[in-house]
Amino acid sequence: MSYTGPDFDPPQPRRSPLRRPLTVAIAALVPGALLGWGVYAAVGGPDGGGGGADRAAGERTSQAPSSDAAPSAPGDAKAPTGSSPSPTATARKPSASASKSAPAAASGPLRGKVVVIDPGHNPGNFRHTAEINRKVNVGTHWKECDTTGTATDAGWPEAKFTLDVAHRLRTLLEKQGATVKLTQDDDRSYGPCVDERARIGNEARADAAISIHADGSGAGNRGFHVILPGTVHDGAADTRAIVAPSAELGERVAGNFVRATGSAPSNYVGGGTGLVTRTDLGGLNLSTVPKVFIECGNMRDGADAALLTSGAWRQKAAQGMSEGIVSFLRG
C-alpha cells in the first residue's frame, strides 16, 4: 500500500490487544529458496495501509506483467495531507461493483456466505489528487480519502496488481459457492474513500472482508504481512466485536498464503509472524465485520517485484487467500 503515489502514466488497455496467544504454529519449512525460514500454518485446514516507508515518487517506464492463468477481468493513507474535511462525494463511473456480483454457485461450502474483496486504491486515483487528498473521519482522527498506491520500479502500479488478484480471488470464492462483492472494479473515476470501503462491507453484512495491497518499502525488505484490527472505541470507530474473529481470519489467511505461494512472512514488520496489528487504518477501524488487510509483498524490492508481476504467482496468492477465507468461514 502506498502513501505517496508515484507520478507516472499507468499502462494502457500480536495481535497485541488480544488476550489469547497467536494460534498460528510453526508447522513446516518452505524448501528451496527460503533456505530454512520457518513458516507456519493457519489454524484449521485449507479451504488494506502497509507498514513500509513512504514510496519514492518519480517518472517510470511502464512494464506489463505476465498474466498467465488469469481469469477474465471485468487504502488507507498514512500521513494526513491535503485539503480540509469536505462532504464532497466520491465520483463514480456508471457501475455498481459494490452492490452487484456474479451469481453465487448453486452449491458449495460457502453457499449463503458473503465475502467482500477490497482491491486497494484505484487506477484512476492519480488523475484526482484533490479528491483523494480530502479528509474523511476514521473514528480516531481524520485521514486522506485514498492514495494512488505504489508501483514497481518499472512502473507497474499497485492498483493494477490489486484488481488482478481480486478477480482471481473472486473466481475461486464463487466456485466455492460464496456471493462476492468488490468495493471497486476500475468502474469509477477514483476511490472509494477508506470510510466508504468499510461501509460497503458493513452494508453487505459480509461474513469476511479482505483488503488487498502490495507494499512500497525499501529494497531488501521482503515478504508478506497481514494487518489485523486493534481495539478501537472512539467516535464512529468500534472494533471491539471484530478484533477476535478478524485475528482468526488473518491467521488462517497468513498460514494458507505461506503454503500456496512459498513466500515467507515479512522480514521488516511483524517479527517474523506475518501478522501486524494496527489501529490507524480507517478501512479496519470503521468495519463492523471481520476484516483484514494483506500486503502481498514489496513492489520496490526486485525479488518481490518479480513475484508480484508473475501471473502464475498471483494465482497462487489468490489461492492462498481463498483457502484461508474458506477455512475461516467453515470454522
DSSP string, 225-251: EEEEE---EETTEE-TTTHHHHHHHHH
Q: Is 144 a catalytic residue?
A: no
Tell me what pLDDT residue 291 has: 99
The backbone torsions φ and ψ at residue 185, rounded to the nearest 5 degrees and listed phi first, read -140, 40
3-state secondary structure 204-227: CCCCEEEEEEEECCCCCCCCEEEE
In a domain, 213, yes or no: yes
Residue 35 makes CB contacts below 8 A (sequence gap 6+) with none
Check 131, 196, 295, 323 and give the catalytic one.
Answer: 295
Spatial separation of the C-alpha atoms in residues 291 and 241, rounded to whole Å: 11
Q: How far apart are CA 34 and CA 19, in angstroms?
A: 32
Q: Is residue 245 part of a domain?
A: yes
Asked if the structure places residue 115 within a domain, the reply is: yes
- How much is the pLDDT for 1? 52
What is the per-residue pLDDT for 106? 53
**What is the extent of the structural domain holding 160?**
25-54+95-330
H or E element that contains 133: helix 129-133
Q: Is the dihedral of CA 31, 37, 42, 44 positive or negative?
A: positive
Q: Which amino acid is at 41?
A: A
Amino acid at 255: G
Establish if 320 belongs to a structural domain: yes
> Can you give the pLDDT at residue 67?
66
Q: How many domains does the chain have?
A: 1
The answer to whether the CB of 308 falls within 8 A of the CB of 240 is: no
Our measurement of the distance from residue 168's CA atom to the centroid of its chain's CA atoms, rounded to an integer in Å, reads: 13
246, 196 in Cβ contact below 8 A?
no
pLDDT < 50 stretches in the chain: 2-63, 69-102, 104-105
In a domain? residue 90: no
Q: How many residues appear in the chain?
A: 331
CATH number of the domain residue 309 falls in: 3.40.630.40
- Is residue 197 within 8 A of residue 118, CB to CB? The reply is yes
Domain membership flag for residue 18: no
Give the position of cell 478478524: 246
Is 4 domain-assigned?
Answer: no
Q: Could you tell me if residue 88 is inside a domain?
A: no
